[in-house]
């Protein structure tokens, strides 16, 4: 039987539940994710959502796959990983899917994830899912950030083709900013800082920021 909710995103879920415990003592990431993001647009030029592909670090992937029954040892099909993918995306809601958007400075809300699946290829475990915007918008300036507020998970944009616009008006331009390595700084934060809530949003300092400008 596939491992349920906490094991694949168990450590991701711990980002919230253990932020004041583990992080207070060892304020540095425990899960590493290499991310690729596609910003989706409708035919009328409206921004409609984000399609993510998150590849987990090798150690976490090995842990996550424990106990999953497969027809062939070491080979995991999308179907076999299906139940696990569902529990994963459902657990992400608690953390706002680690995805935050602003359109012309106004915060945007996402709906429930769709088109989700887990893929295991060449020893890498990747979670794919699409976050539809609750209400499509046509902003001149769009900002999408991906990060874990507690910095339990370290998101890094992929080295190759990390961001892509899909269906956007030709005049729109995109750029992205990678976070600096905050692990050293995080380790300097004391227990009381986290327990007081002063650094509950510490991870925002290391957000991956995607900006789109449209005329």
User: Percent of the chain at pLDDT above 90?
Assistant: 58
- What band does 161 get if pLDDT is binned at 50, 70 and 90? very high
Helix (H/G/I), strand (E/B), else coil: 192: helix
**32 touches 63 (CB < 8 A):** no
Q: What gap in Å lies between CA 191 and CA 66, rounded to an integer?
A: 33
User: The whole model's pTM is what?
Assistant: 0.81
**Per-residue model confidence (pLDDT) at position 202:** 66
pLDDT at residue 214 is higher than 70: yes
**Per-residue model confidence (pLDDT) at position 27:** 52
Please name which of 137, 139, 141 lies closest in space to residue 109, comparing C-alpha atoms.
137
Helix (H/G/I), strand (E/B), else coil: 97: helix
**Per-residue model confidence (pLDDT) at position 179:** 83
pLDDT at residue 24 is higher than 60: no
DSSP letter string, 105-141? TEEE-B---EEEEEEEETTEEEEEEEEEEEEEE--SE
């Amino acid at each position: 039987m596939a491992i349920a909710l906490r094991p694949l995103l168990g450590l991701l879920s711990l980002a919230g539940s253990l932020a004041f415990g583990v992080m207070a003592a060892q304020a540095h990431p425990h899960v590493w994710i290499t991310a690729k993001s596609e910003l989706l647009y409708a035919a009328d030029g409206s921004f409609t959502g984000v399609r993510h592909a998150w590849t987990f670090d090798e150690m976490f992937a090995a842990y996550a796959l424990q106990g999953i029954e497969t027809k062939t040892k070491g080979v995991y099909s999308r179907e076999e990983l299906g139940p696990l993918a569902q529990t994963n995306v459902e657990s992400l809601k608690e953390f706002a899917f680690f995805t935050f958007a602003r359109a012309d400075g106004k915060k945007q809300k996402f709906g429930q994830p769709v088109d989700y699946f887990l893929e295991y290829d060449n020893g890498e475990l990747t979670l794919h899912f699409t976050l539809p915007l609750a209400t499509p918008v046509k902003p001149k300036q769009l900002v999408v950030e991906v990060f874990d507020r507690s910095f339990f998970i370290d998101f890094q944009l992929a080295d190759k083709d990390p961001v892509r616009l899909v269906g956007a008006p030709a005049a729109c331009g995109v750029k992205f900013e990678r976070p600096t390595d905050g692990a050293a700084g995080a380790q300097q934060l004391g227990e009381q800082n986290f327990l007081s809530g002063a650094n509950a949003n510490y991870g925002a300092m290391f957000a991956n920021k995607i900006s789109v400008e449209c005329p």
